[in-house]
């Protein structure tokens, strides 16, 4: 579904964040990327929907080369939902408007359809009573759940999560991970950058370890945690587990 | 709501006290002139004071009712004159006299400034010119500033529109670097030299262009103040740059920018007072004319100041209402 070929990203000539990444993600896979800060994992994720423009390399999504300048990236982004560390809800819109905005504006759904769908999604994450509230009135965990269903309202084929629980109080991490687990069980293709090792163990079909702009380990979670091969990963796991 | 009303009352009280303070200064300054110059008007003044004291004295009025109509005025006058003679020796009455004298002087000066030669009508006309220029130049300035601000911030965010951005920068530098009076005169006397345009039109163009430069920077700061994550969130949902700009960034930017924009509007209103340089009969110019014609300084100038103040207070109120409407989503 997503194929990445020798992807490089430089911010300046000195600062090379991604040093040639090759990766293939199949439909239905749940890929969790872990690694120390500054290893380039967030940049890699943001490259996947071109929020960062790669310096070189190719990204293919559903058979289309999205790094090609002629590709209509706005159209492809509809099929790639993204969830941010800081939620990025639209503060001037109510929750229901946040969810309905993109589908209605892009003419994918009528207002009535979008309204119905938004309410279904709200029910799914247990926030039906917040439909007419504004983001400022919600807790961090609630905001992130809304951010997830806002992305889901576009009916994407893949969901990208950029450290979705890093800005949350420990108490609220659980409710967000719960939503993500349900999503995984429903068969969504997911790429998740996170520091939640428990989530990686439980949900992932593949775990990647990134450091210094390279993927150093790529294995199923059982093998990844029980039998790490790369010495850098062994060191990392000994610190975080 | 009740709290809000109390605040309103406080505002009104404050405003009234400012006006009261003005009139107090008026009496003091004009009385100082009288005592220095106007010794020859002593007779007139004494008559006036007699009349006033006669009317105000309760004893006299009670006697009036008992006496016949014909002798009433005479009687009252004689009593008052006696009193005023006594008063001439008395210190406290001296103060009363002084106060009445200054009150009359101030009243005369007020009448001459505003009433006798229909000064208030010309002032209203001047006000309407000032408001007309302010309104249209503000509209023009906001549209111009909005466009320039978008060009500048789009360049800042994406690096596109290089040439337009250069032009915008030059425009802002020149306008902010030169006085508005000079710009106004250049536009009317140089640029429109060969065209037959009204002074109002020239003033609207000049003040609009001037205001646009400031508004552009205000809008740019507003757009830049919206978190980058908002643009990313919009784009990640499949919206285009323009769609995100209009539906997501702009509403938030405008909300952030409103206080600064209101400030600019108030500044603009007062800046139009230099329109007299191209002989436009605006409020300030009218006040100045009255000042010169009637040889009165106090009332024309303070009158003009008070009118500006009232308009600004109205504007402030309007803006705070608008701000409150846009702040609905901030409620916790």
A167 at interface of B, judged by CB pairs closer than 8 A: no
**Interface mutation vs chain A, best among B231, B236, B252, B330, most A CBs within 10 Å:** B236
Contact residues, chain B, for A101 at CB < 8 Å = 237, 247
Residues in CB range of B303: below 8 A, 6 or more apart? B113, B114, B123, B287
Is there a contact between A106 and B239 if contact means CB atoms under 8 Å apart?
A: yes
> Which of A74, A78, A87, A109 to mutate to probe the B interface, most B CBs <10 Å?
A74
Question: Which of these ranges, A65-69, A92-96, A140-144, has the smallest mean pLDDT?
Answer: A65-69
Q: What is the pTM of this model?
A: 0.76
- In this complex, is the C-beta atom of B251 within 8 Å of any C-beta atom belonging to chain A? yes
Confidence of residue A222 (pLDDT cuts 50, 70, 90): very high
Report DSSP letters for chain A, one per residue.
-EEEEEEEEESSSS-EEEEEEEEEE-TT-EEEEE--TTSSHHHHHHHHTTSS--SEEEEEETTEETTSTTS-HHHHHTTEEEE-TT----TTS-HHHHHHHHHHHTTSS-HHHHHHHHHHHHHHTT-GGGTTS-GGGS-HHHHHHHHHHHHHTT--SEEEEESTTTTS-HHHHHHHHHHHHHHHHTT-EEEEE-S-HHHHHHH-SEEEEEETTEEEEEE-HHHHHHS--SHHHHHHHHHH-
Cβ of B248 within 8 Å of Cβ of A90? The answer is yes
CB contacts, 8 Å: A157 with chain B: none
Residues of A in contact with B227 (CB under 8 A): 86, 88
Task: Give the closest-approach CA distance of B156 to chain A in angstroms.
Answer: 17
| Facing B229 at nearest CB: one of A88, A102, A151 | A88
Give the tens place of pLDDT for each residue, A181-195.
999 999 999 999 999
Lowest mean pLDDT among A14-18, A55-59, B225-229: A14-18
CA B150 from chain centre, in angstroms, equals 31
Per-residue pLDDT at A30 exceeds 70: yes
Tell whether the model's pLDDT for residue A145 goes beyond 50.
yes
CB atoms under 10 Å from CB of A40, counted, come to: 22
Contacts B247 to A, Cβ<8 Å: 101, 105
How far apart, in whole angstroms, are the C-alpha atoms of residue B21 and residue A127? 59
User: Which chain A residues have a beta carbon less than 8 Å from that of B329?
Assistant: 91-94, 134-136
**What is the dihedral angle through the alpha carbons of B184, B186, B188, B191, rounded to the nearest 10 degrees?**
-140
Residue B304: exposed, middle, or buried by beta-carbon count in 10 A (0-12, 13-18, 19+)? buried
Residue B105's pLDDT is 87
- Residues of chain A in contact with residue B232, where contact means CB-CB under 8 angstroms, are 51, 82, 84, 88
B254 touches chain A (CB under 8 A): no
Instruction: Say yes or no to pLDDT of A32 above 90.
Output: yes
Q: How far apart are the first and last CA of chain A?
A: 32
* Torsion angle defined by CA atoms of residues B306, B309, B315 and B320, in that order, rounded to the nearest 10 degrees: -130
- Distance, in angstroms, between B329 CA and closest chain A CA? 5
Which residue of chain B is at minimal alpha-carbon distance from A75?
A: B238
CB contact under 8 A, B229 and A86: yes
Q: How far apart are CA B22 and CA B29, in angstroms?
A: 11
User: Which two three-digit tokens encode residue B125?
Assistant: 């006309």
The confidence score (pLDDT) of residue B221 equals 95
Residue in chain B closest to A52 (alpha carbons) equals: B232
Identify the three-state secondary structure at position B163: helix
Q: Which of B228, B237, B241 should one mutate to test binding to chain A, selecting the residue with the greatest count of A CBs within 10 A? A: B237
Residue B56 DSSP one-character state: H
Interchain CB distance below 8 Å, A102 and B237 = yes
Contact yes or no for B239 and A93 at CB 8 A: no
User: Could you tell me if B330 lies within 8 Å of chain A, comparing CB atoms?
Assistant: yes
pLDDT in tens, chain B (332 residues): 444 455 566 666 666 666 566 556 655 554 454 444 444 333 333 333 444 444 444 444 444 444 445 555 666 677 667 666 655 555 567 888 889 988 998 888 888 888 888 888 889 999 999 999 999 999 999 999 999 999 999 999 888 899 999 999 999 999 999 999 999 999 999 999 888 889 999 999 999 999 999 999 999 999 999 999 999 999 999 999 999 999 999 999 999 999 999 999 999 999 999 999 999 999 999 999 999 988 888 889 999 999 999 999 999 999 999 888 888 777 66
Q: With beta carbons under 8 A apart, name residues in chain A contacting B252.
A: 91-92
Considering CB atoms only, which of A49, A101, A105 is closest to B236?
Answer: A49
Residue B314, pLDDT score? 94
**SS3 call for B227:** coil
Task: Answer yes or no: do B238 and A150 touch at CB < 8 A.
Answer: no
Q: Nearest chain A Cα to B256, which residue?
A: A92
Quote the crossing angle between the two packed helices B91-110 and B69-89, to the nearest 10°.
120
Bridge partners of residue A8, in order along the sequence: A19, A56
Cβ-defined contact of B331 to A89 (cutoff 8 Å): no
The radius of gyration of chain B's CA atoms, rounded to the nearest angstrom, is: 29
From residue B101, give the alpha-carbon distance in Å to each of A128, B44, B58, B98. 76, 10, 21, 5
Q: Which residues of B touch A75 (CB under 8 A)?
A: 238
Q: Report pLDDT digits (tens) over A148-159.
A: 999 999 999 999
Residue B213, min C-alpha distance to chain A (Å): 28
Q: Higher-confidence residue: A5 or B34?
A: A5
- Nearest Cβ partner of A82 from B236, B247, B329? B236
Whether A102 sits inside 8 A of B238 (CB atoms) is yes
pLDDT tens profile B286-322: 999 999 988 888 889 999 999 999 999 999 999 999 8
């Amino acid at each position: 579904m997503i194929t990445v070929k020798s992807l490089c990203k430089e911010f300046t000539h000195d600062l090379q964040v991604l040093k040639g990444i090759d990766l293939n993600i199949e439909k239905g896979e749940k890929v969790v990327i872990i690694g120390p800060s500054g290893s380039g994992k967030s940049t890699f994720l943001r490259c996947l929907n071109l929020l960062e423009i790669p310096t070189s390399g190719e990204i293919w999504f559903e058979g289309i080369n999205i790094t090609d300048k002629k590709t209509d990236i706005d159209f492809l982004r509809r099929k790639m939902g993204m969830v941010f560390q800081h939620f990025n809800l639209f503060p001037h819109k109510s929750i229901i408007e946040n969810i309905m905005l993109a589908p209605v504006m892009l003419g994918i759904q009528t207002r009535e359809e979008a309204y119905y769908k938004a309410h279904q999604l709200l029910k799914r994450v247990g926030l039906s009573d917040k439909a007419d509230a504004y983001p400022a009135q919600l807790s961090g965990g609630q905001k992130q759940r809304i951010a997830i269903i806002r992305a889901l309202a576009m009916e994407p084929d893949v969901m990208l999560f950029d450290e979705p629980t890093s800005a949350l109080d420990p108490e609220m991490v659980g409710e967000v991970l719960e939503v993500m687990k349900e999503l995984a069980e429903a068969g969504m293709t997911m790429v998740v950058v996170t520091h939640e090792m428990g989530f990686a163990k439980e949900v992932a079909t593949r775990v990647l370890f990134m450091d210094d702009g390279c993927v150093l380990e790529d294995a199923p979670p059982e093998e990844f945690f029980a039998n790490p091969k790369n010495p850098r990963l062994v060191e990392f796991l000994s610190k975080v587990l | 709501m009740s709290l809000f009303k109390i605040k309103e009352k406080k505002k009104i009280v404050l405003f009234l006290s400012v006006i009261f303070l003005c009139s107090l200064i008026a009496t003091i300054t004009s009385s100082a002139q009288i005592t220095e110059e106007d010794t020859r008007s002593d007779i007139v003044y004494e008559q006036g004071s007699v009349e006033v004291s006669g009317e105000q004295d309760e004893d006299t009025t009670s006697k009036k009712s008992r006496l016949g109509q014909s002798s009433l005025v005479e009687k009252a006058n004689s009593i008052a004159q006696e009193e005023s003679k006594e008063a001439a020796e008395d210190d406290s009455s001296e103060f009363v006299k002084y106060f009445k004298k200054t009150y009359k002087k101030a009243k005369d000066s007020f009448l001459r400034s505003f009433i006798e030669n229909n000064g208030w009508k010309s002032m209203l006309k001047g006000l309407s010119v000032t408001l007309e220029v302010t309104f249209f130049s503000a509209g023009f300035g906001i549209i111009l500033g909005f466009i320039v601000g978008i060009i500048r911030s789009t360049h800042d965010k994406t690096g596109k529109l290089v040439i337009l951005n250069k032009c915008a920068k030059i425009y802002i530098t020149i306008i902010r670097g030169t006085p508005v009076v000079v710009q106004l005169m250049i536009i009317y006397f140089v640029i429109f030299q060969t065209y037959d345009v009204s002074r109002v039109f020239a003033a609207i163009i000049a003040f609009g262009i001037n205001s646009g430069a400031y508004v552009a920077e205000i809008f740019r700061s507003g757009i830049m103040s919206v978190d980058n994550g908002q643009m990313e969130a919009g784009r990640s949902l499949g919206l285009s740059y323009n769609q995100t700009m209009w539906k997501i960034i702009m509403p938030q930017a405008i909300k952030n920018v409103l206080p600064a924009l209101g400030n600019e509007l108030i500044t603009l209103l007062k800046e139009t007072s230099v329109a007299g340089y191209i002989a436009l009969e605006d409020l300030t110019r009218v006040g100045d004319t009255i000042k010169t014609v009637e040889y009165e300084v106090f009332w024309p100038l303070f009158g003009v100041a008070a009118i500006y103040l009232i308009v600004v207070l109205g504007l402030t109120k309007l803006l705070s209402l608008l701000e409150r409407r846009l702040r609905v989503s901030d409620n916790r």
